Chains A and B, each alone.
Chain A
């Protein structure tokens, strides 16, 4: 009955007056609404459950008596049920289903990584794997991936499916022991329902993209050429799924697309929007289009030690072509020695033979480029280089919060500035300074000096009786600004004085909270400085050691 509750989406209820419901005792128990249970009983699956119970009893008896023919006969007629109508009942429209897709996807991806021992039905695991692969292929075909985040727990993806942002987590492919405090039956029940839901959603999504469902790989010539090869990797029955899961082939379309010219969409001014908002929307659209074609034209090759599936998925999602070593997996389109490879992803400390014209990069480059929405400069990601930190794209900073300098650089890059050159110049200058003085002049000090110089110049100028207009104008501007500021601060002070005690108390509390944030940001900045100086000193020491 708990299984039925989970399948139907009926959740336990927390009563407001526990004593009343529990007939006087306050022992904590699980409660369900009576109305919900009565609703449950209308479900046709209840009969199937009863049949299953009877079936289990008969089977056990036959086993016990040793009647093997009976056992076979019973197993052939095993009762089964389908959950389609429950899906339709719980999600009357497609959009409702999309909203609940997060959880379903995470569960399916999780179950597809389980080992095929007897703990959960092997069929469930296979079905989960098939659905996961289909969904990945859909995302590739529709280019809907937006964010990736590598965490210590797993990989978080966010895609935008028909306007709905869908976030899910995929565990890493390395085997890990299963925790014992998890109830597998409950999880299996959830997964049953979610697999059904995901199957229907997949069908609808494929339909919306005009692709065949169940998915077929485009280009029959490939299939004819490679049956021999296929046998090395997997049995015939499974080779199709394996090829699909390689994520390297494009899918066949249901209706052959006629070659349409892309007509420019007419711009209908939406009421209530100003021209600025429309421009902003246009810009967003353009940025999105650019983002979708991030890796177009680039050919990647994945080395053996690099996690193949996530990288292949991401690269293909943004238009790139990817291949890997033949011994890894089926579906490798080109070899290591292909001259047209532009980027090779390696994860070793040193790469022996480097082919000219190829970039050898660590895998973090791919993820960071996707999050930054542009191809980052490759110099930071060469093998053996200390990588810049992998920032989370799911964190949105508000004003007043601390923004790490790496993120500032990233934002600057996105805006189109070239902080690389500036940073290089700064480093050269600093090196020079180091060589000369061994003291670092902070930028702020430099600026202060400049300011002082300006002030002196102004004074001398005013003494020399140069045209007064300029200086007077400046003074007035400053006065105005300062006057305004002073006025505002005075008004503020007056208002604070006039507040009642209660309001003042609240105001002080809020300000304290804000100041605390600022203080913490300053603390973090100071820590960062200390860290940077420490790193720099280490660098210097290592340099000196190398020289000596």
Chain B
């Protein structure tokens, strides 16, 4: 097998079909502790929601309908599709210690626990009440979420990139190619192979004929 494929296989985490997804990502130490290789747990049934019907995104404001903080509104900080989970900022919290070492008990922090998508509802910005949402098409043909009560369009929340880059304010560094150079078309279709074109461009003339080989 090719070396690159082998290395890529080693890098990717393989999960068995009955893997129980948690709040940690499968490649982290915590997740590996929760799901060691031989462990079998009772299967969790996750409601099948089609990808096109999913209407909750990171950064949306939603209201909690059930649980400890029912009636409160919060922003979604993480979405876990595998379990139909949504984690809100500062809501539905329980308290625990982290950074425990030796005798030191660690820091006491509030950690949020996930809520199912059926237990939260999107908030209509016009009247700030929870509504049911449907996907519809606008006049231009754009697919948007529409609140069923008021008919207002709920725009998809703009989320900052993880690397903190704002594309409009980007300035090219010395090693970056300018947009004009990157989009410039230099390709012309020809019947020469890649190697032949390079040999022609660099002036390499190969007069040696290779020895006879056998393929089997």
Partners in one complex: no
B interface with A by C-beta (< 8 Å): none
Interface residues of A (CB under 8 A from B): none
